[in-house]
Chains A and B, each alone.
Chain A
Amino acid sequence: MGNAVAIIGSGQTKHGRRNDVTYPDLVREAVQAALENTGLTMDDVDGVVYGSMPSMMEGVAMTHFYFADALRTVGKPMMKTETCGTTGMSLAHTGYYWIASGLADVVMVVGSEKMYEGDSQATMSTVMEPYYLRSFLAGAPGIFAMQVHEWTARYNIPSEKARDAAAKISVDHHMDALDNPHAHIKVKLTMDDVRNSRVITYPFRLWDICPNSDGACAIILASAKKAKKMCKKPAWIKGIGFCGDEYWYGDSDKVSWKCAMEAVKQAYDMAGIKNPRKELDVAEVYNPFTFVELLHYECFGFCDPGEACDLALKGVFSRGGELPCDPSGGTLCTNPIGATALIRVAEAAMQVSGLAGDHQIPGANMAFAHGLGGLSEFNGIMILGSKL
């Protein structure tokens, strides 16, 4: 086991369509916000970790070079980590490993994306090779919609019930986003608004799907010694997990979803969590698609397999429920991809530090953050606690 590591603060940009700034200025906005949030200067920071989606998203290759000044990494060691949608979680893990190893005391971790400048879905399609999969899984929704029909068929979930549970998730999260000053999409929806919105990739309709966003997030991690000195309410990293599936979509079961179940097992074992629904106070599930959030609840042991729709409709995972999920509005309302999973980590840390403002879950002591990526092949987890 490595040394103890805490998150001592974070910063987020205003997320949305950010044509008002160039990309390095957007990154700088998050870096400045994290420094202001912690009261640190770059003299306190030993190294920087940065990541985003593939360079095709930005039209500039090797953006960590382009952003060197904005990241304030000149004259310091820096690392780049990139794992598709899971990038933000892998970034947080990279920072964790750096400090847990004892080789650094304070590390700044930054993720960003500017999705309105290029063609985000075309970039996503290039994640698949052109020999076979690219033809049939073009764009992100196809991959995950396929997984959803596999899931509903496995447990004989009536399509109307899955539809209603997913609609409730959309309504709740869009309502939650109204309380999050950083959220991108701010709109009040009814169940019928979701159910009647345009089909993108069936069963996904417009309001089941996350937006494109421009945005960046920075967090600052510290060793126990530094965290106690630099921060009144550190969020301690209690457990992490990461797992991948094989490349070829169709080779493995995406309902009894190995990479999700194995990643979460690693994190629960490390954090000593036996009954996640009881022991976790809040979860920031990476939820680009409403239906897949439900499947994740099952894979993460928040409920039994096949049970998520019923419990979601009862409000178990809503604010005020037994395990509130995505009180920030989640990926569904804000999705600058390279930053998205890092935002989950930042939000979970804010919850256990009691600093989540209007979307604070009262008394949250144990929080769960998640990242999802690839052709559903990567899942990464970080669990944060208020106590060392």
Chain B
Amino acid sequence: MTKNYGTLKHTVWLPYNFAVGPVFLRFYEGLKEGKILGNQCLKCKKTLVPARTFCPSCNVDMGDWREVSQEGNIVSWIVANEPFLGMPIDPPFIAALIRLDGTDCSFLHLVGGFDTDTLNKKIKKGTRVRAHWRTEKKGHLMDIQYFKPK
């Protein structure tokens, strides 16, 4: 049996103010207007969402802004059952990678708005989902309450 020498309680509290930058600002403003905004790489022509300042593959500045589809297919999904720091809502919830129509990457968000007893049937690769918005929008990722299976 190891002797218990006790612990010293100590809290580090560090508030941050992260620069938003022009691209995330516009993306968040789009959410406030009920739009999901992506942009297109001038070189590889991929449409990425959320919008980026530069293309991660080509390392060139992104070009045209565009409102992307609010509908897409589930690529993969999880059920978060335990709380972790930074979660947008209390678990349990479903998070998914969603390929919005016409885009070239997967968008991460929540899936909800259906009877969870039907989870095994409803939620799988290829399930069609559509953005379900909150009535009051704040220019925040969670202005989209979840993506709802069709």
Contact = CB atoms under 8 A, between A and B. Distances in A.
B78 interface: yes
Interface stretch (B63-71, B107-115, B128-136): B107-115
Contacts of B142: 135
Interface string B101-124: 000011111100000000000001
A125 B142 CA distance: 18
A87 to B, nearest CB: 21
A133 interface: yes
Interface string A215-251: 0000000000000000000000000000000111111
Given A135-B142, A146-B76, A247-B56, A122 B87 contact: no
Interface in A135-181: 135-139, 141-142, 145-147, 149-150, 153
B76 A132 contact: no
A122 B85 contact: yes
B105 A250 contact: yes
B78 A145 contact: yes
B78 A202 contact: yes
A101 interface: no
Contacts of B77: 146, 149
A62 interface: no
A249 B108 contact: yes
Contact of B76 (A117, A128, A130, A147): A147
A138 B80 contact: yes
B86 A130 contact: yes
B108 A132 contact: yes
Contacts of A246: 56-57
B42 interface: no
Contacts of A249: 97, 108
Contacts of B75: 150
B5 to A, nearest CB: 7
Given A147-B76, A153-B124, A250 B3 contact: no
Given A132-B50, A135-B86, A199 B95 contact: no
B125 interface: yes
A201 interface: yes
B79 interface: yes
B95 A136 contact: yes
Contacts of B12: 56, 59
B10 to A, nearest CB: 6
Nearest to B125: A153
B56 A251 contact: yes
Contacts of A132: 50, 108, 141
Contacts of B86: 122, 125, 128, 130, 134-135, 138
Given A59-B10, A135-B141, A150-B76, A250 B84 contact: no
Nearest to B89: A135
A239 B18 CA distance: 41
Contacts of A131: 18, 20, 24, 50
Nearest to A136: B108
Given A20-B3, A150-B97, A119 B85 contact: yes
A146 B125 CA distance: 11
Contacts of B82: 139, 200-201
A9 to B, nearest CB: 27
A250 B106 contact: yes
Contacts of B24: 131
A201 B79 contact: yes
Interface string B4-21: 110100101000101010
A126, A130, A141, A201, most chain B CB atoms within 10 A: A201
Given A153-B76, A250-B107, A146 B97 contact: yes
B102 to A, nearest CB: 15
Contacts of A150: 75-76, 97, 125
B20, B105, B109, most chain A CB atoms within 10 A: B105
16 contacts: A56-B12, A124-B84, A133-B108, A135-B88, A136-B95, A136-B108, A137-B95, A138-B87, A146-B97, A201-B82, A246-B56, A248-B48, A248-B56, A248-B105, A250-B106, A251-B48
Interface of B: 2-5, 7, 10, 12, 16, 18, 20, 24, 48, 50, 52, 56-57, 75-82, 84-88, 95, 97, 105-110, 124-125, 141-142
